[in-house]
Amino acid sequence: MTTTLRPAGPEETLPDGGRARPWLVCANGRTVGSVRTAAVTYGTHRVGRIDALRITEGLRRGRGTVAALAAEEVLRSWDCTRAEVVVPAATQPALTLALALGYTETNRKLLKDLDQVPPPAPGVTLRPISAAEFPEWLTASNAEYQEQLVRSGLTPEQARQRCAADSRNVLRDGAATAGVALRRLYAGERAVGSLWVALDCGPLPDGRRHSWVMTVEVDPDRRGHGYGRQLLLAAEREALAAGIHVLGLNVYCDNTVAIRLYTSLGYRPTTHILAKPL
């Protein structure tokens, strides 16, 4: 029995020269599932993504494996050098399949429902990052982000290009960019960390709007003093002040300290991101 992909709709053009397309998974001409492929361009390299892979219950018979491999071939033909798969946390079979195909989990996305948030701890304050402070803050924030991307499997140049593209897309007006909260955390008069929150990232599948923690950073010599927790609580207050009651964030799998912190604050995994070179 032959399993193939057939276009399920027209190809979509993504920003910066990327592309995406939905596909039907067919077995001997009969539709047994669907999948979507996308190629996202960062500078001179492309990252492929495979998501929404679904095989009809009772008709699996290894077709998910064949469909995923066929999707990889599509990404190779689109000049992608890396493939990422997006797996909902509730779908253990899909996670098992991705691991069997050689993917490695790099990061996961978490969400938390917000209610009441305690005030800042005594002696701790938050202040907006000013236009004068913004370039220095962005340079330091990008350096940390690039290190995380390299640890997840990108080359230093790929990480630099991806970081530059992300900053350009979401902080177009610097410190004055609308819809974001840029804050520095102070212990007394000393800056000990910083926070960047996108205040309204649109609706989730259940229709609720959500905010997103883009970065939360504590100075290396001030870690272990509870400042990370204070920054996250500040992010929750920013979201609630904007009328948003769900906050999300991304964590890289090698950051076990951050994972423990997020878990202790009630964040729950919703999505696993896995990747492998093509």
**CA atoms within 13 Å, Cβ hemisphere of 48:** 24
Distance between CA atoms of 110 and 216, rounded to whole angstroms?
14
pLDDT for the residue 91: 86
In order of start, what are the domains of the chain with their CATH numbers? 3-80 (no CATH), 112-277 (3.40.630.30)
| pLDDT, mean of each 10-residue run, the chain (278 residues) | 88 89 91 94 88 76 88 96 92 89 95 93 95 94 88 86 84 92 95 95 94 94 93 97 97 93 96 94
Of 57, 107, 59, 70, nearest in space to 87 by CA: 107
pLDDT for the residue 92: 87
Tell me the two tokens of residue 213. Answer: 């923690």
pLDDT for the residue 43: 77
Helix boundaries (H) for 37-176:
63-77, 92-100, 134-151, 156-170
